[in-house]
Amino acid sequence: MSWKPPEEDDPMEVVGVLLPEGDLDETAAVIVEEFVRAGYDDETLMELFRNPFYQATHWIYRARGEAYVRGLIERTRRQWSHPGVEGGHAEGV
């Protein structure tokens, strides 16, 4: 199957938005959890927040700051870590 860019009105195109009435801290926690569980390392995840191209994560970064995002990543990583597993992957793999 060949890949082609989605049409402008493609309903299956993934688009992330922040809602003004949403809970910023809960949104940030869910985003970080998703990427931690997907196996992103800390610096790659931080780049998603630093880079203005990623509007939702960058908005959180600007609103709460780097220390907040790093702390959230650290807490989330601890929550999802397991003995004998480093960064979501089995040691030695």
Return the H-helix or E-strand segment holding 70: helix 66-80
Cα angle 77, 14, 60 (rounded to 5 degrees) comes to: 45
Q: What is the pLDDT of residues 23-76, one digit of tens each?
A: 899 999 999 999 999 999 999 999 999 999 998 899 999 999 999 999 999 999
Tell me which amino acid residue 16 is: G
Based on the number of CB atoms within 10 Å of its own CB, is 78 exposed (0-12), middle (13-18) or buried (19 or more)? exposed
Q: What is the pLDDT of residues 5-28, one digit of tens each?
A: 767 777 766 666 666 677 899 999
* pTM attached to this predicted model: 0.68
DSSP alpha helices (H): ranges in 10-41? 24-37
Tell me how far apart the alpha carbons of residues 46 and 58 are, in angstroms, rounded to a whole number.
10
